[in-house]
Amino acid sequence: MSEEDLINLVEGNASANDNQFMDNIVIVGGGTMGRGITIVAAKRGIEVLLIEKNETSLAQSLDLIKESLDKEISRWSMTESEKKAILSRIKGVVEFSEITSQQLIIEALNEDFELKKAVFKELDKYCQDKAILITNTSTLSITELASVTGRPDKVIGMHFLSPVQKIKLIEVVKGLNTSADTFQKVMAFAKKLERTPIEVFESPGYVTTRVFIPLVNEAIQVLMEGIASAEDIDTAIRIGYEIPTGPLAMADSIGLDQVLKWMETLFHDLGDAKYRPCPLLRMLVRAGHLGVKTSQGFFKYNENGEIITGSGRNSNNIK
pLDDT of residue 309: 72
CA nearest neighbour of 71 among 302, 316, 271:
302
Q: Which helix (H) or strand (E) holds 49?
A: strand 47-51
Going 13 to 173 to 143 to 34, the CA torsion angle's sign is negative
Range 140-145, long-range pairs (CB < 8 A, 24+ positions): 140/111, 140/113, 140/116, 140/265, 141/175, 141/202, 142/173, 142/174, 142/175, 142/176, 142/178, 142/202, 143/175, 143/176, 143/177, 143/202, 144/113, 144/117, 145/113, 145/116, 145/117, 145/120, 145/175
With beta carbons less than 8 A apart as the criterion, state whether 174 and 199 touch.
yes
With beta carbons less than 8 A apart as the criterion, state whether 50 and 93 touch.
yes
With beta carbons less than 8 A apart as the criterion, state whether 154 and 144 touch.
no
pLDDT of residue 312: 73
CA nearest neighbour of 107 among 98, 99, 116:
116
Beta bridge partners of residue 199, listed in sequence order: 172
Q: Which helix (H) or strand (E) holds 47?
A: strand 47-51
Pick out the chain residues at pLDDT < 70. Answer: 1-19, 310-311, 314-319
Q: What's the CATH number of domain 208-294, 3.40.50.300, 3.30.479.10, 3.40.50.150, 1.10.1040.10?
A: 1.10.1040.10
CA nearest neighbour of 39 among 1, 14, 67, 58:
67
Give the CATH superfamily of 3-201.
Answer: NAD(P)-binding Rossmann-like Domain (3.40.50.720)
Q: How far apart are CA 3 and CA 23, in angstroms?
A: 20
Residues 6 or more apart from 4 whose CB is under 8 A from it? none
Q: How far apart are CA 85 and CA 79, in angstroms?
A: 10
pLDDT of residue 204: 85
**pLDDT digit string (tens) for 87-107?**
999 999 999 999 999 999 999
Interior angle at CA 67, CA 64 and CA 73, nearest 5: 150
In the chain, where are the structural domains located? Answer: 3-201, 208-294
Report the predicted TM-score, pTM, of the whole model to 2 decimal places.
Answer: 0.83
Q: How far apart are CA 274 and CA 212, in angstroms?
A: 11
pLDDT of residue 163: 85
